[in-house]
Amino acid sequence: MGTGVFAFSLIISLLLRCLASQHPNNTDAFFVSDFFRKMKVAPSSAEGSSSRVCSWRGVSCDGQERVVSLVASGFGFSGPIPESTIGKLSELRVLDLSHNNITGLSLDFAEPGSSLRSLNLSWNKITGPLPSNLGNFKLMESLDLSHNWFTREIPSQVGSLSSLVVLNLSRNLLEASIPVAILGCTSLVAIDLSHNRLSGSLPGGFGVAFKNLSTLDLSENEISGKMPDLSGLDSITYLNLSGNLLQELALGVFRDPLQVMDLSRNQFHGLISQVHHSSVSSWSSLVYLDMSMNELTGYFFPGLEDLSSLRHLNLAFNKFSSQEFHLLEMPSSLEYLNLSKANLTGQIPPRISRLLNMKVLDLSRNHITGNIPELSTKNLQGIDLSVNNLTGEIPKSLQQKLPVMENFNFSYNNLTYCGMKFSPETLESSFIGSQSDCPIAVNPDGIGSVDNKHKDLKLGLALALALSLFFLLAGLISLALALRKRTPSWTVKQPSYREEQNISGPFYFQTDSTTWVADVKLATSVPVVIFEKPLLNFTFADLLSATSHFDRGTLLAEGRYGPVYRGFLPGGIHIAMKVLVHGSMVTDQEAAKELERLGQIKHPNLVSLTGYCLAGDQRIAIYDYMENGNLQNLLHDLPLGLQSTEDWTSDTWEQDNAGIQSITTEGMTTWRFRHKIAIGAARALAFLHHGCFPPIVHRDVKASSIYIDSAMESRLADFGLSRIVGNSMEGDMSRGSPGYTPPEFSELENTLATTKTDVYGFGVVLFELITGKKPIGDEYSEDKEITLVHWARDLVRRNEYSRLIDPKIRETGPEKQMEEALRIAYLCTADLPPKRPSMHQIVGLLKDVEPVTIMH
């Protein structure tokens, strides 16, 4: 096999050399031929194996055989562009080398600058700074360098491109501020600088300079300060400033023909209701408006109902004043409406059924009461009404639509439904706290006389009663035999009557490494706060009962903050309780304030704080229970399909291993699943860093901090607790865990944790997911290497990716995607913090290598 490949390569090389030798070495034909030869790609031609370069696929020439266009997208070019090849094409007007594996530019690359009109090098792997001689392209109209690895600042020479119409530098690693010189590109119609590290503010006069600009995308950067003055953008139709650090909002400057405006995930604050009705009325062309995840206050701005073209409206996760839902008017053209956590009260107005085009409706996390009205829309694909105070039955017409919807959630209300058509997993995730009211007996055909129905009903009831008694008796006998056979070490101890009465303190508890005291006189006098259910009157006595007085049988783990227990609160609420043994460093008032703040931080990929209890000097943080354990446990500690009773796992792996079985089937041994875990954790960190104000630094990102929920999504835990434990553990917590600690902590004293510390820890986790190896103490093939990071980074530098990929996942997905993910981990674990990308950028990079889902 190897001999055949070598022979084929030799033939191709000789063919290209022969073709090149047929042209003088100063002609365009020679330069193009030499380029293909040095890049080791065989050209194709409509004329067969023609030596005439102008007949090659992707090559166009003028009447004098001079190459004017080279379109070679996806040809398989790899490595840097060689010197003295395409850089010598003096009449070249169009160059498209996108979707290849080019890693660098030649020094003479800008020599054809006097003629080049369009340059597309997107979707390659070009590293280093943008070339400063870009200014040589005086006639350039379209410049696309997106989806590469360009670093440092945008060179000021770009301002010389006065004819430039399209500028796309998105999804690189560019930093610093946008240069003032860019204002010289007055012909620009589209600017895309999204997904970089750009900071600072926009140059003054930005709006006035670009009269023809229709598209502006600056999303996923670190641009800060007040919202730029864009009042001069008279032609703007698409504006995306999402995912930045902008603070002062100015909406009055926008008007038609604006169609898309995305200002989400910034730090905009102030009264949104100050937007004048006259300003809103000038948005008649607006189709898409997203202002979610900011700090906007007051009431919704007036005139929303007049936006007759609006189809997408998202105002979720702000700090609006309490407002009656039924007083709000919405445009009838809406297809997507998200008012999650918008402080809505009252009932859902029946007129919402007039929104006939609605596809997605999210009203979760509000204070809405009453019944769910009938929804007449036929196109509904998703609905989320969770975490409200809704009552009554979910309308049957809506229940009939649910099986064909993409997603729905009615959890944490007081609703009733008939769940016969739903799987147990759906019932557990989408109807939490609701009750099924399905009829006892159902005759689906409705056929037969009244007498036959009565006869069948009596027979069915008798049979059901007999079977119930039989299985009850059999179950009791089996249970008795099992208990006589053995009492497992992990069995939760049931408190005796006398223990249940022991609710007077103080209470002393001990684990293998910690002794902690809850110095309270009466357990029933200490309240437990549950954020989403404030009317539930739980006390410390309920925690004692749930954990059998914090018995070791309920101990899940002992973390750096303290021991973690599991238990069931009254009503079957499954929780995990983390005792912050060092939490007494702050006052009760300070601890409660900080815990309340943490309780407001919600994201699908975070293990959110659901409540707390201040028991004497102890602060007990309460979380949702994670059924499938953490990544450390699943990836390293246990064989697939087994569980540890010392982690957040199912009650007994022998009796209920459904969750772990799904992990085995989904395959911790598949690339798709590991990528899913990685991007979920990345989204969680990106939210903490860029979606919270002030940003939250996790300080201890590692595999054991990432949990897997019942839906097989990754959840990041243990964020934001450092303020509660106080200064006593500040130094220890900042330094992270062995194998995850960045180099700056070993080189400098008194180094404080930053968002770049978290990025490093995430990079280590990403290396773990791809290699399947532990961060320290594993076999790395070379004895001299002592950590995963040192070993992996060295192999990435040498382009020896195949030695890094876990054999278990190698055949389960495109190896190129795994290699790209290794490069992302390499960037994250850079020695110098400024060289590490932001978590927003990492999310974007991981999306680029996301496995394609095949729909059956």
Residue with tokens 């609710």: 503
User: Which residue in 54, 144, 131, 140 sits closest to 99, CA to CA?
Assistant: 144
Residue with tokens 């009461």: 369
Q: Quick check: is 700 catalytic?
A: yes
Distance CA 657, CA 653 (A): 5
Strands 714-716 and 706-708: antiparallel
Give the pair of three-digit tokens for residue 74.
């996806």
Distance CA 488, CA 449 (A): 55
Q: How far is CA 442 from CA 438, 439, 453, 636, in A?
A: 9, 7, 11, 49
Write the CB contacts of 693 (distance below 8 Å, at least 6 apart in sequence).
267, 295
What is the largest distance, in Å, between two alpha-carbon atoms of the chain?
102
Backbone torsions φ then ψ of 443, nearest 5 degrees? -105, 100
Strands 190-192 and 166-168: parallel
Q: Where are the beta strands (DSSP E) in 357-479?
A: 360-362, 367-370, 382-384, 389-393, 407-409, 414-417, 435-436
| The Cα angle at residue 401 between residues 397 and 402, in degrees rounded to 5 | 120
Strands 527-530 and 609-615: antiparallel
| The Cα angle at residue 203 between residues 219 and 260, in degrees rounded to 5 | 35
DSSP-derived 3-state class of residue 673: helix
Distance CA 196, CA 185 (A): 20
DSSP-derived 3-state class of residue 513: coil
Distance CA 143, CA 122 (A): 9
Query: Please, is 233 exposed, middle or buried when counting C-beta atoms within 10 Å of its C-beta (0-12, 13-18, 19+)?
Result: buried
Strand order in the sheet with 618-624: 538-539, 527-530, 609-615, 618-624, 573-580, 563-569, 555-558
Distance CA 146, CA 168 (A): 6
Asked whether the beta carbons of 234 and 258 are under 8 A apart, the reply is no
Q: H or E segment at 732?
A: helix 730-734
Q: What is the DSSP string of 744-758?
A: HHHHSTTPPP-HHHH
Backbone torsions φ then ψ of 833, nearest 5 degrees? -55, -40
3-state SS, one letter per residue, for 613-661: EEECCEEEEEEECCCECEHHHHHHHCCCCCCCCCCCECCCCCCCCHHHH
Write the CB contacts of 759 (distance below 8 Å, at least 6 apart in sequence).
685, 828, 836, 837, 838, 839, 842
Distance CA 132, CA 109 (A): 11
> 98-119 as b/e, with b when 16 or more CB fall inside 10 Å?
bbbebbebbebbbbbbebbbbb
Strands 573-580 and 563-569: antiparallel
Distance CA 381, CA 407 (A): 7
Distance CA 683, CA 844 (A): 10
Distance CA 693, CA 302 (A): 27
Active-site choice (34, 217, 384, 700):
700
Distance CA 786, CA 789 (A): 9
The catalytic residues are 700
